[in-house]
Structure 1
């Protein structure tokens, strides 16, 4: 194991031999514009090493710089890192590049640099190094579903730190769904007053006969959201909020029954959904519903500065619209042809509404049904197909196919996997994922903004379960998203797995409850909880 086992792998790296000792006299020389990264380095390295890293120059100093030359060569997220006997020079193409370089510097100090207090008798040194690095993709994302199981604010902040350690830069915050509404909207207090708690929860897959009768819920206040967004921004992570519509809306309808299709459903009787799957209760296609969600989005935009806003748009059953005289009259009035056109009408409305406010709509690939709204981007989850269609039509795409990068899917076929869901996707499988599908035209490939791993929490009831599903596979995904890797068949999977031996020690120091390479520990298993195993390899669609 070696401290030069970097993950994600840099573009170029040389380690000629030799060490630069760090001690109480090692100074930090922070150039113009580097203050935030300097503060972060002092915070994490000061805690782990006990070294003060005072302001100063001279032999052995750690110098932080932002330079146009690095920006020109490697872009604003690129960096150069030089460690010699004279000291350290970390040169970023911009503030983000400098910060990613600082993450590499931390890795070079060894796994104990990830601890919160110094170990007795520990000495510190950096290996002599020359690194030039930049990311392959500008969108390197992770989705966390906090609706199915709520994630406490402190755990969201921790996950952002773990993302930053892996050079991921987009946090897709799935805030609303049938099972709970998780963001305070001041003008609609019942969204959290009634919509954020459910009476019980299904244990395991929806086919399981077991229930947890403990009420479950929670939400983030607007100040919590501001804190999360600020914490992310300090780590050069953009938070993209998702407010789901017109499907996945039972929690909202339970809070405000008039949002639903009241002519065919007794919406007054609906509660926040307590099981999993595709819910039939969808929003009514009325002007009043549009005004309601415009009010929601007005508060969302005030909290999230991200260019993109996710509106879901997936898994919207049309049965209620087919049965509803009001919905059928609306189809005729709008001239949209059918129920798919009605869904497209929802999406197009908010595409225009967001564009008028300087934002961009992004949705799951179902928003292609009925015609894709102009300016909309697509999260391609049902395989590559939706993303290919959108990219070839000139729309931007984030590739996140379920068959490859849904981290709620099981990691092994063994019977000890906790609540086995979906396809087997091993650490090596994720490492061989390719975000740009073969055969995509060069012009269309430019519309692939990047890639994202998704974490749906139906069977993840707490932080340790999320840790188990996400790690170590997020390390493989991060390298796919950042590094200039060859085609999947030519990737050095064995070399990556060898580097992971060092990375496991970093995760240990961070207290991450990852899946061990030998299989789940006894306390990580969930015997008797039914999952959704799918035999055979996942289809590529």
Structure 2
């Protein structure tokens, strides 16, 4: 539910021809999203102009006064004059459109209302493990679309595992050969498909966060290269893979480096790979509990960890404990989702991301 909703008497029905007036910079992808939404509502024609009797007005202005400082905040007003959306950024406009899509009743009308909303957490993620279970591009896009409707903004793409390495490397193309896979043999993603996924996420204000798990969950690496990631030769190869990834997909801000469920016998491995990765311009994230992660690495909790994340925490934290969708224990899942606060807090702080 939005942070604040005020219902009013009356309902608004959009005509077949809708005039939309936009003040400020709204990304083309969001304009297209509005057009698709209106098409689903059986609107036959959408005109973006400054028509006197406009049906939808969108104001996008960084200086707007809203109850939250979040750049994703928005306000919606629906009355007899039409629909007005106010946001500081195009992302806020996008999220307002998602809420607008939920407002329409079975009669095709929208209730008069005032809605103000903003996220409690800046990191709202969904992890897909295609290393273990390959999923087609169509399925991934369907999941990303659902994420967008629920205003999730992080697509965590876990593409390396013991079972298979699922992203092509032009430097080491044999890494994704079917003979090196234990399940879904021969199934991997090309450079073009990965670039398409990144764009698809971006158009929905979702950040793709890739994960190259190291040094654990790396049997596929070990099978192909005949060496452990923590060995001198393994480190040299892994550095080349990370460098190739950073150069092939520029603009991604993060790389998840895993670090969990493995015996660390080379204490220099994670510090070395962290420095290498961050020198390439990628902020590192690692699993907690895990190996000897560096202080500047974001911790993603998968079990245990502190009960409450405060501004005094020594590192930034993402709380993912007990949120496994495939853990089908209804008693634990319902209790976890509805009776446990993320990081022991009702909202983000400097160290608790989401």
TM-score strictly above 0.5: yes
| Distance change in 2, residues 1:220/1:22 (3 Å) | same
**Residue in 1 aligned with 2:7?**
15
Shift of 1:89: 0.9
Q: CA deviation at 1:103?
A: 0.5
Aligned to 2:196: 227
What does residue 421 of structure 1 align with?
none
Residue 375 (structure 1) aligned to one of 276, 280, 296? 296
Question: 17, 22, 35: which one pairs with 1:25?
Answer: 17
Following the alignment from structure 1 to structure 2, what is the Cα–Cα distance between the partners of residues 363 and 386? 18
Conserved in 1, the CA contact under 8 Å of 2:18 and 2:43?
A: no
The answer to whether structure 1 residue 36 and structure 2 residue 29 are counterparts is yes
1:136-156 CA deviation, whole Å, 9 max, x = no partner?
Answer: 110000111111110111111
**8 Å Cα contact 2:308-2:343 kept in structure 1:** no
**Are residue 241 (structure 1) and residue 235 (structure 2) matched?**
no
TM normalised by structure 1 equals 0.61
Offset of 1:185 from its aligned partner?
1.0
Residues 65 and 396 (structure 1), Cα distance of their counterparts in 2 relative to 1, 3 Å cut: same
Matches within 5 A, 1:453-472: none
Change over 3 Å in CA distance of 1:398–1:71 after alignment to 2: farther
C-alpha distance in structure 2 between counterparts of 1:78 and 1:196, whole Å: 46
Establish whether residue 45 from structure 1 lines up as the match of residue 38 from structure 2: yes
Task: Spell out the pairing of 1:64-143 with structure 2 (5 A cutoff).
Answer: 64-70=58-64, 73-74=67-68, 75-110=70-105, 124-143=108-127
TM-score, normalised relative to structure 2: 0.91
1:351 maps to 274
Q: Output aligned runs, 1:138-153, within 5 Å.
A: 138-153=122-137
User: Is the CA contact (8 Å cut-off) linking 1:194 and 1:254 kept in structure 2?
Assistant: no
* Correspondence 1:251-290 to 2 at 5 A: 251-257=220-226, 259-260=227-228, 283-286=229-232, 288-290=233-235
Aligned twin of 2:344: 437
Q: Contact (CA 8 Å) 1:195, 1:252: kept in 2 or not?
A: no
1:304/1:386 CA distance change after superposition, 3 Å: farther
- Partners of 2:211 and 2:65 lie apart in 1 by 32
1:420 — aligned with what?
none
Whether the 8 Å CA contact 2:122–2:353 is kept in 1: the answer is yes
- Does the 8 Å CA contact 1:229/1:304 hold for their aligned counterparts? no
Matches of 1:151 and 1:398, distance apart in 2: 25
Work out which structure has the larger RCO, using CA pairs closer than 8 Å and 6 or more positions apart in sequence: 1
Residues 286, 297 of structure 2: 8 Å contact kept: yes
Within 5 A, what are the aligned runs for 1:461-500?
none
What residue number does 1:306 align with?
Answer: 252
Say which SS state the counterpart of residue 25 (structure 2) adopts. Answer: coil
RMSD between superposed Cα atoms in Å = 2.5
Q: Equivalent residue of 2:110, what SS? A: strand
Q: Alpha-carbon deviation of 1:375?
A: 1.2
Unaligned segments of structure 2, at least 5 residues:
none
Contact 2:209–2:254, Cα closer than 8 Å, also in 1: yes
**Does the 8 Å contact 1:29/1:62 carry over to 2?**
yes
Check conservation: 2:308, 2:344, Cα contact below 8 A.
no
Cα pair 1:19 1:127 within 8 Å, conserved: yes
Greater than 4 Å deviation, 4+ residue runs? 390-393
Residue 73 of structure 1: CA displacement?
A: 4.1
- Determine which structure has more spread, i.e. the larger CA radius of gyration: 1
Question: How many Å apart are 1:398 and its aligned residue?
Answer: 0.3
Matched, 1:406 2:313: no
For the residues of structure 1 that align with 2:289 and 2:188, how far apart are their CA atoms?
A: 27
* Deviation string, structure 1 residues 263-316 (Cα, Å, up to 9, x no partner): xxxxxxxxxxxxxxxxxxxx3421x22221122112322326332210111111
Following superposition, the deviation at residue 71 of structure 1 comes to 6.2
Alpha-carbon distance between aligned partners in 2 of 1:40 and 1:291, rounded to the nearest angstrom: 45
Residue-pair matches, total: 350
